[in-house]
């Protein structure tokens, strides 16, 4: 049975290559709303491919939209960036801990909830549901070709991204940046592995293309963890290394956007049918 969705549009802006829409969406009849940034290409000539963008720990939707999303938009790919639980607009008042400014963006998270293993487990389950709901939302947009959907995850978002792709056959391509198997040093890693095992999940891609981007000097998700996840994946797959740490260089965004543009190209039949009108 199709999910009935509702949305509230807060603002719309014209930007380079398209439109930026700040909104919240959720299941129709439910109070909960997911804050999001939607980027849509300027051309309405044909429904666009689209990607769900999942941010890393202490990040937020704006950072993904204004970096990855902008790079995709320049290639004609729409994107939806959401705030994951305990982050961004979903931090409860009074619970925020800031790590300062990194790359021009404030790094913050819900510090009170992060002290509780049960709260983290609950947030992870919520994040999994949110990602699936977000895919349903963007796939239902008239501007988007629901047959050409992808997921792009960064760091923590890559762990969620690979699980989402494993669970949702609508995901046709997957990009994991600074991702890999769960680091042993990650808080509550053993408990999280029971909820989501990246190595087990990546084996379920069943021939859908995977691109991994990783820094050779990454001390957060070490290179051996990225290699382990890559080795577990089936073809087609590609792992690109960068002389960087956990934060990848700007040209990695262009690499990911170019790769996705190729993987999400319309089928020859769809292109001919569209031209025939």
Q: What is the pLDDT of residue 272?
A: 43
Long-range contacts of 234-240 (CB under 8 A, 24+ apart): 234/203, 234/205, 234/206, 234/207, 235/207, 236/207, 236/209, 236/210, 237/209, 237/210, 237/211, 237/212, 238/209, 238/210, 238/211, 238/212, 239/212, 239/214, 240/211, 240/212, 240/213, 240/214
Instruction: Please indicate, yes or no, if residue 173 is contained in any of the structural domains.
Output: yes
All residues at 6 or more sequence positions from 114 whose CB lies less than 8 Å from its CB, including other chains:
86, 120, 187
Selection from 85, 165, 98 nearest residue 130 by Cα: 85
Instruction: Please indicate, yes or no, if residue 270 is contained in any of the structural domains.
Output: no
Instruction: Please indicate, yes or no, if residue 251 is contained in any of the structural domains.
Output: yes
Helix, strand, coil percent values for the chain (each to nearest 5): 35, 30, 35
What CATH number does residue 179 fall under? 3.40.50.1820
Instruction: Please indicate, yes or no, if residue 276 is contained in any of the structural domains.
Output: no
What's the structural domain count of the chain?
A: 1
Instruction: Please indicate, yes or no, if residue 274 is contained in any of the structural domains.
Output: no
Pair type for strands 144-154 and 48-54: parallel
pLDDT in tens, the chain (277 residues): 456 788 899 999 999 999 999 999 998 756 568 999 999 999 766 799 999 999 988 788 999 999 999 999 999 999 999 999 888 777 765 555 655 544 554 556 555 656 667 777 888 898 999 999 999 999 999 999 999 999 999 998 999 999 999 999 999 999 999 999 987 666 556 666 777 899 999 999 999 999 999 999 999 899 999 999 999 999 999 999 999 999 999 999 999 999 999 999 987 655 545 444 5
Instruction: Please indicate, yes or no, if residue 272 is contained in any of the structural domains.
Output: no
Supply the range of the domain harboring residue 11.
Answer: 5-265
Instruction: Please indicate, yes or no, if residue 113 is contained in any of the structural domains.
Output: yes
Degrees (nearest 5) of the Cα angle 120, 121, 126? 95
Pair type for strands 144-154 and 5-15: unpaired
3-state secondary structure of 119: helix
Write the DSSP assignment of 196-252 as a string of letters. --HHHHHTTSTT--EEEEEETT-SSS-HHHHHHHHHHSPSSEEEEEES-SSSPPTHH
Our separate counts of H helices and E strands in the chain read: 9, 11
Selection from 166, 152, 173, 234 nearest residue 196 by Cα: 166
Instruction: Please indicate, yes or no, if residue 273 is contained in any of the structural domains.
Output: no
Selection from 79, 82, 84, 83 nearest residue 139 by Cα: 79
Q: At what angle do helices 156-167 and 117-140 cross, to 10 degrees?
A: 60
Q: Rounded to two decimals, what is the model's pTM? A: 0.89
């Amino acid at each position: 049975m199709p999910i009935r969705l509702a949305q509230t549009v807060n603002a719309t802006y014209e930007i380079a290559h398209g439109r930026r829409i700040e909104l919240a969406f959720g299941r129709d009849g439910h109070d909960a709303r997911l804050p999001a940034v939607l980027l849509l290409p300027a051309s309405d000539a044909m429904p666009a491919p689209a990607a769900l963008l999942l941010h890393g720990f202490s990040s937020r939707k704006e950072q993904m939209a204004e970096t990855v999303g902008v790079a995709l938009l320049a290639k004609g790919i729409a994107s939806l960036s959401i705030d994951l639980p305990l982050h961004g607009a979903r931090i409860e008042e009074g619970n925020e801990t800031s790590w300062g400014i990194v790359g021009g963006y404030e790094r913050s998270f819900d510090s009170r909830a992060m002290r509780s293993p049960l709260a983290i487990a609950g947030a992870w389950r919520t994040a999994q549901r949110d990602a699936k709901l977000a895919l349903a939302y963007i796939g239902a947009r008239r501007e988007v070709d629901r047959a050409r959907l992808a997921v792009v995850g960064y760091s923590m978002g890559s762990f969620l991204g690979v699980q989402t792709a494993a669970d949702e056959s609508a995901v046709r391509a997957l990009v994991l940046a600074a991702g890999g198997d769960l680091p042993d040093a990650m808080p509550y890693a053993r408990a999280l592995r029971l909820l989501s095992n990246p190595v087990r999940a990546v084996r379920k891609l069943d021939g859908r293309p995977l691109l991994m981007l990783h820094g050779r000097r990454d001390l957060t998700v070490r290179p051996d963890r990225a290699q382990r996840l890559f080795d577990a994946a089936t073809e087609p797959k590609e792992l690109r290394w960068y002389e960087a740490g956990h934060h990848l260089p700007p040209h990695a965004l262009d690499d990911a956007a170019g790769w996705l543009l190729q993987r999400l190209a319309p089928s020859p039949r769809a292109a001919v049918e569209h031209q025939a009108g």
